[in-house]
A = this chain, B = another copy of it.
Amino acid sequence: MKTLSTGDIAQWCDVNLRTVIRWIEKGDLKGFKLPGRGNNRVLVEDFIAFLDHHGMPVPEELQGFVNNCVLIVDDEEAITRAIRRALRSAGFETIIAHDGFQAGSLLMQEKPALMTLDLSMPGLDGFSVLEFVRQQPNLSGLKILVVSALDQHNLDRALQLGADQVLGKPFTEQELLSAVTGLLGTVTQT
C-alpha cells in the first residue's frame, strides 16, 4: 500500500506543493491526513485515478502501479478463453469468473480496472449486476464492457444502467480489443 506525499505529487505534476494541498482540500484529489499536524498522504491508485480522470500522463515510475487487470464474466468456457487470449496478447492481466458468486468475490478481491459482463448467464441477471455495482461507491472507477447476444433494446438498457460500452455477439478480436483499450486506453501502455 504505497502512498505519496504532497511534495511527490507536486513534482510529478510539475506544480507547486501549495496547489496540491488545495486540490486535496477541495476534494479533487482523494487523500487522507496523518495524525500529527495533518500531513497529507495519497494512495498511488487514487493518484493514478486522478491523473487518468484529468487526462494527465502517468509518470514512468508509477507505471507499475497501473491497474490493467480485466475480469471476464461468462459461463461459457469457450468465450472466456477467447477473450482471455485476446486480452493477454495485448498485455492485460485477466481473471475469469464462471458464475455470479465468483464474479462478485473476484471483483471485490482483485479490484480489476475493467469487467466484461455477459448479460444472459443462467442464474445471473446482468442488469441487476450493473445496478448493484453502480451503487457501490468504491467501485466507481470500474469500467464495464457488456458482451451480449441480446438485441439493441437490451444493450441500450445496459448502457442506461451504467455499462460503459456494449459489444454485440458475435464480435471480432479487433472489436473487443478496441473496446477495451478505448476504455482503459490512456493508462495501459507498457
Q: Write the residues of chain A forming the contact surface with B, with a CB cutoff of 8 angstroms.
A: 1-3, 12-15, 19, 22-23, 28-29, 32-36, 41, 43, 50, 54-57, 59, 99-109, 121-125, 128-129, 132, 136, 138
| CA A32 to CA B2, docked complex, whole Å | 26
Q: Are B1 and A12 closer than 8 Å at their CB atoms?
A: yes
- Chain B minimum-CB-distance residue to A122: B123
Q: Which residues from B are CB-within-8-Å of A23?
A: 35-36
Which residues in B have their C-beta under 8 angstroms from that of A29? 35
Q: Please name all residues of chain B whose beta carbon is closer than 8 Å to the beta carbon of A121 when the two chains form the complex.
A: 123
Copies in the complex: 2
Secondary structure type dominating chain A contacts: mixed
Q: Residues of B contacting A2 with CB < 8 Å?
A: 14
**A108 — nearest CB in chain B belongs to which residue?**
B108
Chain B contacts of A102 at CB under 8 A?
Answer: 104, 132
> Which B-chain residue is minimally distant from A61 (CB atoms)?
B1
Residues on the B chain within 8 Å of A107, using CB: 104-105, 108
